[in-house]
Amino acid sequence: MLAPRHVAALAAAGRDRVEVTRRIRLAVISTGAELAPPGATLAPGQIFDANGPALAAAARAAGCEVVLQERTSDEPDDFASVLAQAAASADIIVTAGGISQGAFEVVREVLEPHGAWVGSLALQPGGPQATARFAGVPVLCFPGNPVSAQLSFELFLAPVLRALAGLPARTTESRRLTVDLDSVADRVQLVRARADDRGGIAPVAGPGSHLVVAMAHADRVIVVPAETTHLPAGSEVTAWVL
């Protein structure tokens, strides 16, 4: 529904019709037998599912309608069943986990027979990546570590979703480091950071892709080129605004 001020603006312009676009319908599937829903009492060996809620929230912020948010075990039949359910209602499916080099990588196991590309990028966090089509629906498969999944979404999918929804593109800006920053050679680094009110910026955590709390405290992401291994304080860097 249009807000009253928008209706008034259209009336003033002599218009009684507007063009609308259906929201992209997106499904989120997080994988892992160890996952428990937020708020549950954890059994030994369990952890909370951070990816499902975080990716669903990111999708809504990018203009999507989230039609399914589910967790599955590492059993191929379980994952395939939820995947089929997602494909029946979604325009795009996003998965988290199950694409690395381990012995029980359920997303890889189910989607590779459907022609999935599964590989690794020179990116940290977010090296393991995969893409596929299942029942004609595009599937983007992100790593299971929460920060890797969130930053992969922001890098690869959010710009497309925002454009389809008619939302403004992500804001990027130049800022100056307030501390030295070291980076791994030959990989693009996505560094969680926080800006100050003087044009400065500083990392809020190390490169670990499990540090969810640091992601919550970040309001920027510094993009460090693959060829850069050290940036002294005062260096100008490019940052995404979260």
Write out pLDDT tens, residues 57-79: 999 999 999 999 999 999 999 99
Whether the predicted pLDDT of 1 surpasses 70:
no
Q: Hey, what domains does the chain have and what are their CATH numbers? A: 22-164 (3.40.980.10), 172-241 (2.40.340.10)
Q: What is the mean pLDDT of residues 129-151?
A: 96
- pLDDT, residue 208, reads 63
- 141 vs 242, more confident: 141
Write out pLDDT tens, residues 148-168: 999 999 999 999 999 999 999
How many beta carbons lie within 10 A of that of residue 137, not counting itself?
A: 18
- pLDDT, residue 193, reads 95
How far, in Å, CA of 187 to CA of 199, rounded? 26
- pLDDT, residue 207, reads 66
Q: What is the mean pLDDT of residues 83-111?
A: 94
The answer to whether the beta carbons of residues 35 and 48 sit under 8 Å apart is yes
Alpha helices in the chain (DSSP H): 4-12, 51-61, 76-87, 106-111, 146-152, 158-164, 212-217
Indicate the residue type of 231. L
- pLDDT, residue 10, reads 64
- Tell me the pLDDT band of 183, cut-offs 50, 70 and 90: very high
How far, in Å, CA of 118 to CA of 37, rounded? 27
Question: Residue 36 burial by CB count (10 A; 0-12/13-18/19+): exposed, middle or buried?
Answer: middle
The answer to whether the beta carbons of residues 98 and 105 sit under 8 Å apart is yes
How far, in Å, CA of 229 to CA of 185, rounded? 6
The 3-class secondary structure across 154-208, one letter per residue, is: HHHHHHHHHHHCCCCCCCEEEEEECCCEECCCCCEEEEEEEECCCCEEEECCCCC
Percent of the residues in the chain that have a pLDDT greater than 70, as a whole number: 93
Strand 172-177 vs strand 200-203: parallel, antiparallel, or unpaired? Answer: parallel
Per the listing, tokens 């570590």 go with 145
Q: Which of 112-116, 174-178, 206-210 is least confident?
A: 206-210
- Tell me the pLDDT band of 7, cut-offs 50, 70 and 90: low
Whether the predicted pLDDT of 12 surpasses 90:
no
Token pair for 30? 């997080």
- 234 vs 22, more confident: 234
pTM of the entire structure? Answer: 0.88
Whether the predicted pLDDT of 3 surpasses 70:
no
